[in-house]
Amino acid sequence: CSPPASSITELILSSFDQSLRLINESRLQSRRRFFRPSDPETLGISRAAEVFQTTVRVLSQRVRAAGTSIWTSALIAVFLILCFRENPLWGAAHTPLVRWLPAEYEDDQEEPKGWNTGRLYNGHPLPLVTHCPLSKIMRGWSSGEDDVYSLLLVEWGQYLDHDVTFTPQSTDAAAAAAAAAAAVDCLNTCENVQPCFPIKVDTTNLSDCLPFYRSTPACPVSVGAELTAVFQRQQMNAITSFIDASLIYGHTPELQSSLRDLRGFNGKLAVNQQFKDPKERAYLPSVARLPSTCRQGGQVERVECFNAGDSRANEGLPLMALHTLWLREHNRITETLKVMNDHWSPEMLYQETRKIVGALHQIITFRDYLPKIIGPESFEHFVGQYKGYDPTTDPSASNVFATAAFRFGHATIPPILRRLNESFQPHERFSQLRLHDTFFSPWRLVKEGGVEPVLRGVVGSAAPLVNPNMLLVEEVTERLLVPNVPQHLDLASLNLQRGRDHGLPGYNHWRAFCGLQPVVTLSDLTAVVGDHGVAEKIQTLYGHLDNVDVWLGGLVEKPLPRSRTGPLFACLIGRQMKALRDGDRFWWEADGVFSQQQRSQLYKVSLSGIMCDNSDTGELPRDPFRFNKYPSEYVPCAEIPSMNLDAWREDKSRGGFDHDLTIVMVNHSYG
Boundaries of every domain in the chain: 240-667
Give CA–CA dist 210/337, Å, rounded. 51
The pLDDT value recorded for residue 6 is 59
Q: What local confidence, expressed as pLDDT, does residue 72 receive?
A: 46
pLDDT (average), residues 536-555? 95
Q: What is the pLDDT of residues 586-622, one digit of tens each?
A: 999 999 999 999 999 999 999 999 999 999 999 999 9
DSSP letter (8 states) at residue 375: -
Phi/psi of residue 667, nearest 5 degrees? -110, 5
pLDDT band at residue 286, thresholds of 50, 70 and 90? Answer: very high
- In this prediction, residue 150 carries a pLDDT of 96
Closest by Cα among 316, 349, 137, 165 to 239: 165
The answer to whether 410 is a known ligand-binding residue is yes
Distance CA 498, CA 411 (A): 16
Contacting residues for 441 by C-beta, under 8 A, at least 6 apart: 294, 295, 297, 314, 317
> What type of residue is 640?
I
Which is more confident, 41 or 461? 461
Res 453 pLDDT > 70 = yes
What does the alpha-carbon distance between residue 176 and residue 47 come to, in Å, rounded to a whole number? 13
| pLDDT: which is higher, 143 or 364 | 364
Average pLDDT, rounded, for the chain: 84
Most confident of 90-94, 148-152, 206-210: 148-152
Residue 150: count of CB within 10 angstroms of its CB: 23
| 162 assigned to active site | yes
pLDDT at res. 186: 81
Buried b or exposed e, range 62-81, using 16+ CB within 10 angstroms: ebeeeeeebeeebbeebbbe
pTM, two decimals, is 0.86
Q: Which of 162, 251, 330, 502 is the catalytic position?
A: 162
DSSP secondary structure of 440-480: T-HHHHHHTTTTHHHHHHHHSSEEEPPBTTB-B-HHHHT-B
Cis before residue 37, ω within 30 degrees of 0?
no
Using CA atoms, how far apart are residues 491 and 661, in angstroms rounded to an integer? 43
Interacting residues of 346 by C-beta distance below 8 A, sequence separation 6+: 264, 265, 266, 267
* pLDDT at residue 410, as a whole number: 84
pLDDT tens digits, 362-413: 999 999 999 999 999 999 999 999 999 999 999 999 999 999 999 998 888 8
Greatest C-alpha distance within the chain: 82
pLDDT at 384: 98
CATH of 240-667, one of 1.10.640.10, 3.90.180.10, 1.25.40.10, 3.30.200.20: 1.10.640.10
Q: Which candidate, 1, 9, 15, 95, places its Cα nearest to that of 49?
A: 95
pLDDT band at 502 (very low <50, low <70, confident <90, very high): very high
* Position 34 confidence tier, pLDDT thresholds 50, 70, 90: very low
pLDDT at 134 over 80: no
pLDDT given at position 208: 84
Nearest to 100 by CA among 331, 537, 398: 398
Query: What is residue 489's predicted lDDT score, i.e. its pLDDT?
Result: 65
Average pLDDT over residues 48-70: 66
How large is the average pLDDT for residues 141-168? 85
Question: What span, in angstroms and rounded, lies between the C-alpha atoms of 542 and 630?
Answer: 46
The pLDDT value recorded for residue 8 is 61
Name the DSSP class of 82: G
